[in-house]
Amino acid sequence: MTERSPKRSFATRPANPESWIKASDTPSARGSADGGYTARLTIDVTSELRGRIKIAAFQRGVTVAEMLRDLLAREFSSTEGDPS
């Protein structure tokens, strides 16, 4: 059997999670509304849940992305003393 390459593979866990998280902080092509950095996040959801999310966003008069960004910002707000 052949020996594995010493280079990091796609699923290799980082030695230092903090530096790994901050390493992806590069300016995106679109940028964010506040001129900061953005990062793409991909999740798998069922077709049924995707439909409910789209309906909720439509009823609120916002895009799915805007609604989910707000939801995530509320859930993971940066607070005083938060290490992030």
Token representation of residue 56: 């909720």
The answer to the question of residue 66 being in a domain is yes
C-alpha R_g of the chain:
18
d(CA 54, CA 66): 11
Give a yes or no: residue 36 inside a domain: no
Give domain status of residue 14, yes or no. Answer: no
Containing domain of residue 72, as a range? 45-77
User: Would you say residue 71 lies in a domain?
Assistant: yes
Rounded-to-integer distance, Cα 35 and Cα 28, Å: 10
Within-domain flag for 57: yes
**Spatial distance between the Cα atoms of 6 and 58, rounded to a whole number of angstroms:** 49
Burial of 3 (0-12, 13-18, 19+ CB in 10 A): exposed
Per-residue pLDDT of the chain in tens (84 residues, 90 and over written 9): 566 656 655 566 667 777 766 665 554 445 555 556 678 889 999 999 999 999 999 999 999 999 999 999 999 988 755 555
The full length of the chain comes to 84
Q: The tokens 């990062």 sit on which residue? A: 39
User: Is residue 28 one of the residues assigned to a domain?
Assistant: no
Whole-model pTM over 0.85: no
Tell whether 20 is covered by a domain. no
Domain count along the chain: 1
Examine residue 68 and state whether it is found in any structural domain, yes or no: yes
